[in-house]
Structure 1
């Protein structure tokens, strides 16, 4: 007998960071698969796991900056892997780095990264991840100690390691991301990257040459003082996960803690910025 799933069709405005937050929260509730689209998100859960009031207390619905509505319907079980494979295409960043899935054919390129994202964020397709990968390609990582904060799939940590970084740590508060990072680290033969589950409280007493943080505006603003304290003299902080309109607020907070704006990249109104001390 085939399993019956419920498909939730979420309409989300603006798409980010609300979509990423929603995926993380739904994953905790037992939703098994997600498909992002132009209007929001399709999310799937077994009907037998569904409860009438399961969405009532989600944090993302309490944020006045997000507009989220949804409908749901029953569907028969699908081959989720086949659907994912059909919609996930490899990307190339800066003509030097390819991010692909295990089922994609390898090509002759400087940095070949194989990522199986599961429920984690960070395939390189999103503008913020793409720009952070570009920053890594454009800057010197040789022998540097690196932190990938909010690591998602671990793709930034992996490219940093392939670019010659020394000690690399990757941290994410979400268990799916932590486990997925461990898998992808091994998959890319970068097993000396240390992955941890947790938040910025894990950074006490630690120092890095480079910190990468692709999260969202509010968390960045809250944690910039911690990042500044963890950055070695002459170090660099790369931030993303916010819009162009947020750049002044991010830069002002960085300046208040001795971090000077150096440059930013922009893609479809998303921004990734570099700060130095």
Structure 2
């Protein structure tokens, strides 16, 4: 099968935050599929078939005088993109219990050794939101629990939940690449009882869970919180991330309307991950 052709954009960004996060969000809206952060800024990839000459024309962050952002672009084939993330993807450790690594990294003596081949999916553990969600899982009893990983990306949260003793895990993502990548990673980590589905919150009708993990974005979370609340068993736990500190009041207020009480939060570079109980 012929290789897919991508356009690689190499963005130099100063200062890096929050410009990088805003740029990723805006690029995702215009068709970019994957991103690799580096010391200088960001590599971003869009299929050549989805590219157009003025693809960056309406990006707000590029017009913001508070940030200096320059870029160049070139064509690459998919194999070159995979080599690029391999070069930039380093193993991470969450506390002293969990390691997230690629297949080409050596394992270490940790309780939870997770092997992830991210390709074009979100959720390697490097981003602040994923890292905080992993911390929440490590600090929570999952033994015998039914779990939902909503917006699963690579499936890393679902995999750790299963490793921590969850009796069943559903992993859902609307993106086909994430759906396929999660299935691969679930198999790679020998995790039984994880079911991966492609879709959105409409798949949750008549489903019940003890713990729900949702690392998505502010707007989707606000829209789907009523669905999550309906799906939670009595005494259940909802972990949310993918939003900033300034969004916490709106998220907590919406949760409160549906009987979900804020318990605690983690903060990393203005990103928030919060725990709610019912």
After superposition, the Cα gap between the structure-2 partners of 1:44 and 1:150, relative to the gap in structure 1 and judged at 3 Å, is closer
The CA deviation at 1:49 is: 7.4
Counterpart for residue 140 of structure 2 = 139
Counterpart for residue 228 of structure 2 = 227
Distance 1:147 1:71 in 2: 39
The CA deviation at 1:80 is: 3.4
Counterpart for residue 19 of structure 1 = 24
After superposition, the Cα gap between the structure-2 partners of 1:168 and 1:24, relative to the gap in structure 1 and judged at 3 Å, is farther
Counterpart contact for 2:149–2:212, Cα < 8 Å: yes
The CA deviation at 1:72 is: 4.0
What is the number of equivalent residue pairs in this alignment? 266
1:175 partnered with 2:176: yes
Distance 1:122 1:172 in 2: 12
Counterpart contact for 2:265–2:275, Cα < 8 Å: yes
After superposition, the Cα gap between the structure-2 partners of 1:24 and 1:166, relative to the gap in structure 1 and judged at 3 Å, is farther
- 5+ residue gaps, structure 1: none
Distance 1:22 1:207 in 2: 35
* TM value normalised by structure 2: 0.85
| Secondary structure, counterpart of 1:16 in structure 2 | helix
The CA deviation at 1:135 is: 0.4
Q: How does 1:69-84 map to 2 (within 5 A)?
A: 71-74=71-74, 79-84=80-85
- 5+ residue gaps, structure 2: none
Counterpart for residue 210 of structure 2 = 209
Counterpart contact for 1:148–1:211, Cα < 8 Å: yes
After superposition, the Cα gap between the structure-2 partners of 1:227 and 1:271, relative to the gap in structure 1 and judged at 3 Å, is same
* TM value normalised by structure 1: 0.85
Counterpart contact for 2:120–2:178, Cα < 8 Å: yes
Q: How does 1:185-264 map to 2 (within 5 A)?
A: 185-264=186-265
After superposition, the Cα gap between the structure-2 partners of 1:244 and 1:5, relative to the gap in structure 1 and judged at 3 Å, is closer
Provide, for residues 72-128 of structure 1, a one-character-per-residue CA deviation record: whole Å limited to 9, x for no partner. Answer: 433676843433222111111121000000000011110000000000000000110
Q: How does 1:68-147 map to 2 (within 5 A)?
A: 71-74=71-74, 79-147=80-148
1:7 partnered with 2:8: yes
Q: How does 1:39-50 map to 2 (within 5 A)?
A: 41-44=42-45, 50=51
The CA deviation at 1:35 is: 2.4
Distance 1:220 1:135 in 2: 18
1:271 partnered with 2:272: yes
Counterpart contact for 2:7–2:75, Cα < 8 Å: yes
The CA deviation at 1:70 is: 6.8
After superposition, the Cα gap between the structure-2 partners of 1:24 and 1:138, relative to the gap in structure 1 and judged at 3 Å, is farther
What do you get for the CA RMSD once the two structures are aligned?
Answer: 2.9
The CA deviation at 1:268 is: 1.2
The CA deviation at 1:156 is: 0.2
- Which shows bigger deviation, 154-163 or 19-28? 19-28
| Secondary structure, counterpart of 1:254 in structure 2 | helix
